[in-house]
Amino acid sequence: MKTTIEEVKKLVRPNIAALKPYSTARDEYEGEIGIYLDANENPYENGFNRYPDPRHKALRARISEIKGVPMERIFTAGSGSDEIIDLLYRIFCTPGWDNVVSIAPSYGVYSVSAAINDVEFREVRLNADFTMDPDAVLDAVDGTTSMIFVCSPNNPSGNLIPTRQIEYLLENFPGVVVVDEAYIDFAPGQSMLSKLDQYDNLVVLHTLSKAWGMAGLRIGMGFAHPYIVETMMRVKAPYNMNSLTQATVLKMLESDPAAQVAELVAQRDLAMEKIKTMPGVLQMYPSDANFVLIKVQQPRAIYDRLIESGVIVRDRSRIPGCEGCLRITIGTPQENASMLAALENILS
């Protein structure tokens, strides 16, 4: 039983469905030659005196080439995927009424965004090995659940959620399934992008913050049915990506990060092999991302001693399901060697 776009439309908050969006000067006249006296800009050229393209057309065209997804299925944000997560709440959830289901432990922004939007957030714990039980996720769903969040590869656990399990959710949940693939470039061939045509209720999130090395530029991407993309366009801030960012990202997208990604993946596997053999490492979880999660006896003490050695990792040990866990991002070969030496020294 698939959820059609007509059913997705019924999930849109009535005020959003009825919204007449702000129409910018650039929306109303898209030509490129003439005397622009329509936007109350300062006419004197300094490189930034004009408003940016509100629909980021050049950037979306380039992303379309890179990802093999048509432009009308691509939404781009200037404040990261975090902006898109918030937009989805505002579009699909009536505050104080609807709820959202997510796997846990997972990315913290889903629950914070739920709280900001006054939306009940239901967490379904992953198994001890961080695999997902799709039926447990569906059991948490009721008549007012509008979205399910699945992060794959999952942060902080690092593992991919199998495609067939995500498809099971898409086929059995009559709402929107958001699949956050922030780390998918480290797990080639596993993206749900190839399933976009098949599922009207699928939203896939990507980012340029991780593999693409542009965390500072804050580019998030949402891939979905054109109706969902158009609805996000209507709700977003009119100029949600400045012209300096649009131009810089286009330029940076000329070089592809495949070589760096391959090295990071090789470095990750090397780090996993080494950490696995260290004394006091209770668990080395498999990773499909650019970080590893380890379980140790005294996470806080090890975290503090790593800092004394100049290595900062993320203490995730207070998150339910992550007791004892530290999350370590993979750096350059030199940085990893320093991290491994420090960890070995502390543990032995």
Ligand X SMILES: *Cc1c(COP(=O)(O)O)cnc(C)c1O
Q: Which residues bind ligand X (CB under 6 A)?
A: 80-82, 107, 151, 155, 180, 182, 207, 209-210, 215, 220
Nearest distance from C-beta of residue 157 to ligand X, angstroms = 11
The DSSP element (H or E) to which 281 belongs, if any, is strand 281-284
**Which CB, 62 or 305, lies closer to ligand X?**
62
With CA atoms as reference, report the closest residue to 197 among 176, 226, 165: 226
Nearest distance from C-beta of residue 20 to ligand X, angstroms = 29
Distance CA 327, CA 343 (A): 13
**Which CB, 12 or 137, lies closer to ligand X?**
137
Nearest distance from C-beta of residue 151 to ligand X, angstroms = 5
H-type alpha helices, the chain: 5-11, 14-17, 25-28, 57-67, 80-92, 109-116, 134-139, 163-172, 226-235, 243-252, 258-276, 299-308, 333-347
Nearest distance from C-beta of residue 346 to ligand X, angstroms = 26
**Which CB, 51 or 186, lies closer to ligand X?**
186
Nearest distance from C-beta of residue 221 to ligand X, angstroms = 8
Q: What is the 3-state secondary structure (H, E, C) of 177-219?
A: EEEECCCHHHCCCCCHHHHCCCCCCEEEEEECCCCCCCHHHCC
**Which CB, 81 or 336, lies closer to ligand X?**
81
Distance CA 141, CA 129 (A): 23
**Which CB, 52 or 220, lies closer to ligand X?**
220
Neighbouring residues of 34: CB distance < 8 A, sequence distance ≥ 6: none
Nearest distance from C-beta of residue 214 to ligand X, angstroms = 9
Nearest distance from C-beta of residue 121 to ligand X, angstroms = 15
User: Which residues does residue 133 pair with via DSSP β-bridges, in sequence order?
Assistant: none
What DSSP character marks residue 108?
T
**Which CB, 53 or 180, lies closer to ligand X?**
180
Distance CA 133, CA 138 (A): 9
What DSSP character marks residue 156?
T
**Which CB, 81 or 245, lies closer to ligand X?**
81
